[in-house]
Amino acid sequence: SRPAQASGSRFAFDELQAGVDTKHHVAQGYDADILIRWGDPVVKGAPAFDVQKQTADAQEKQFGYNNDYIGYVPLPLGSTTSDHGLLVVNHEYTDAAIMFPGLADAKGEFELSAQSKEQIDIEMAAHGQSVIEIKRGADGKWAVVPDSAYGRRITARSTEFLVTGPAAGHDRLKTSADATGTKVIGTINNCAGGTTPWGTTVHAEENFNGYFGGELKDDHPEARNYKRYGLGEAEYGWSLHHDRFDLVKEPNEPNRFGWVVEIDPTDPTSTPKKRTAMGRFKHEGAESIVAKDGRVVFYMGDDQRFDYLYKFVTAGKFNPADRKANMDLLDEGTLYVAKFDADGKVAWMPVVFGQGPLTEANGFKSQADVLIETRRAGDLLGATKMDRPEDVQPNPVNGKVYVILTNNDKRKAEQVDAVNPRPENKFGHIVEILPTDGDHAATTASWDLLVKCGDPSVAAVGATFHPGTTQNGWFGSPDNCEIDADGRLWVATDGNNYKYSGRADGIWGLETEGEARGTGKLFFRVPVGAEMCGPKITPDLATFFVSVQHPGEGGKEWPEFGRPSTFADPSTRWPDFQDGVPPRPSVVVITKQGGGKIGA
Ligand code: FEO
Ligand code: CA
Ligand code: CA
Ligand code: CA
């Protein structure tokens, strides 16, 4: 029997049953095929994946680990072609216990010092981005174009980035390897991102802190800065083999991470840029829209409990007739941080040196200082402390901006405010922002709550999904989102959560308009242990790319499926299901059987 459908919802598909198992699932009538997996070839001449003989040099040419954001750039450039294009995919982080045979014990644990330098270098090569060329064949199936001239890996191990904008060349960015303060090897923890109107992609450096070892003394000039970003607790062993990740040896290196990076995927020889004008924090993503006057506005979340929501407005205007003229738009503009009030208003406060408290009296000598310590600038400005801002995406159809707040179980009752209304917010919520006069460059806006997430059948949760939402249709811990060409909002979850709900992460269509506003519908779900990232729909709405990240991770949370997550753990080996092959993070491509628009 078919599950009940919500009336008035624009998401016309038979809803998937919520649940969790070792496989991925999509709504009836759709195919969900593996497009590319960790270890598959990206750069011409890449060796075949051999999990028993991994090397950093091989990984440099292969698809990286833990795919997250997916950018789609149609080919030819500037077109809306939906059967040929480039995918630019983030590789956010690595799971050494699952990647390397014999490393972890039966509990999934290992000492950082137990890793070889080669393993560390493989991890560094598995971070960053992949650029792949993809085509849809006559049979309707997508495939990676083999040996494409566009194929590129950007890694934390070998790719040189140029630092640009107000903090470029500042003393606080200089290291013994780079006296200029403008050249950085690599990008790390790239979570979500965005695709610019001029066909480049932007990628957020999120939890950069965990890659650094060592500890600075309290009287070190960077101690206050680093404390604010959570540095000092290494989660990776990189500093044991590379001095630049050791805070004591290279105290300025962390100031070179935490930025938004821009990549031109159409030119494999181009140097990627770290755009400091957009601030330094734990960037989740950077989705943009062209404002009424032609300036470009990027919305950005800082994904930490009680951190802030930002936007960046370029000084220059987008020139649709001259791509080159747009290539450095991200170096000049104004960064703003949001203050929400209880009357439904938003004030965007400039994060600009010399304005308000951002002065020498508070330790800022220039805009570079303000940007390097963006979070402290936000603190001084009195920005609103949010429940972990993840994706923030403007909807070009209705003019609103969708702010995904994933959860914050540390918010106490006395810390509740209008826009973060729940204490111990385990399930998150979604806020809508409506810019004043529809102008995204405006410094004021109004806001509204779209939905408080969680199981609506449990009164104590306080969820506010539309009553037409079925038991499959509600979700928790929203993270990434996609707004398709028809203006429909699709939400991906992270930690939905098996622990809380016994159901896998996935993709839900969430109605934002009309009578069915607030109705969720489940479309796709991931295998156990995985998180859902990177939802991206082609301009013709016929293809939906999704990232299945960290399949098989966190086994301790799901004892029903067997053991903790280690290489040896046979409880899930998605998607290959072969002995001796661990689970492999992969991009999945969803199409409708017989063709046509997704969800229509
Ligand atoms: Fe990497 Fe904010 O999720
Ligand atoms: Ca993630
Ligand atoms: Ca995320
Ligand atoms: Ca998340």
ipTM of the complex: 0.93
pLDDT (0 to 100) of residue 138: 93
* CB-ligand 1 contact for 191 (6 Å cutoff): yes
Q: Is 247 among the domain residues? A: no
pLDDT (0 to 100) of residue 228: 98
Return the C-alpha torsion angle 6, 524, 284, 582, nearest 10.
160
Q: How far is the CA of 494 from the centre of ligand 4 (A)?
A: 5
Q: Is 412 among the domain residues? A: yes
Q: Number of folded domains in the chain?
A: 1
| Six-digit token string for 476 | 């928790």
Q: Is 118 among the domain residues? A: yes
Instruction: Please give the number of the atom of ligand 1 that sits closest to the Cα of 301.
Output: 2
Task: Please give the residue range of the domain that contains residue 587.
Answer: 25-174+189-206+258-592
5 residue type, one letter: Q
Segment-wise mean pLDDT, segments of 10 residues, the chain, 600 residues: 59 95 96 98 97 97 98 96 98 96 88 97 98 96 98 98 98 98 98 98 98 95 97 95 97 98 98 98 98 98 98 98 98 98 97 98 98 98 98 98 97 98 97 98 98 96 96 96 98 75 90 97 94 97 98 70 68 90 96 96
71 residue type, one letter: G
Q: Is 238 among the domain residues? A: no
**Strand locations in 280-388, DSSP E?**
287-290, 295-301, 305-307, 309-317, 333-340, 345-350, 386-387
Instruction: Please give the number of the atom of ligand 1 that sits closest to the Cα of 68.
Output: 1
- How far is Cα 392 from Cα 481, in angstroms, rounded to an integer? 8
Q: Are 68 and 547 in contact (CB under 8 A)?
A: yes
Bin 475: left if φ > 0, else alpha if -120 < ψ < 50, else beta.
Answer: beta
Count of residues for the chain?
A: 600
Bin 2: left if φ > 0, else alpha if -120 < ψ < 50, else beta.
Answer: beta
Q: Are 530 and 549 in contact (CB under 8 A)?
A: yes
- How far is Cα 75 from Cα 80, in angstroms, rounded to an integer? 8
Residues, Cβ < 5 Å to ion ligand 4: 479, 494
Nearest CA to ligand 1 atom 1: 191
pLDDT (0 to 100) of residue 1: 34
pLDDT (0 to 100) of residue 559: 57
Q: Are 467 and 482 in contact (CB under 8 A)?
A: no
Q: Is 505 among the domain residues? A: yes
Count CA atoms closer than 13 A to 118's CA, side-chain side. 8
3-state class (DSSP) for residue 501: helix
* CB-ligand 1 contact for 284 (6 Å cutoff): yes
Nearest CA to ligand 1 atom 3: 191
* CB-ligand 1 contact for 307 (6 Å cutoff): no
* CB-ligand 1 contact for 206 (6 Å cutoff): yes
Q: Is 454 among the domain residues? A: yes
Q: How far is the CA of 7 from the centre of ligand 2 (A)?
A: 33
Q: Is 580 among the domain residues? A: yes
| Six-digit token string for 134 | 């993809």
Count CA atoms closer than 13 A to 325's CA, side-chain side. 9
Q: Is 525 among the domain residues? A: yes
Q: How far is the CA of 383 from the centre of ligand 2 (A)?
A: 25
**CA distances (Å), origin 498, targets 3, 465, 504, 550, 564:** 22, 20, 6, 14, 15
Q: Are 212 and 231 in contact (CB under 8 A)?
A: yes
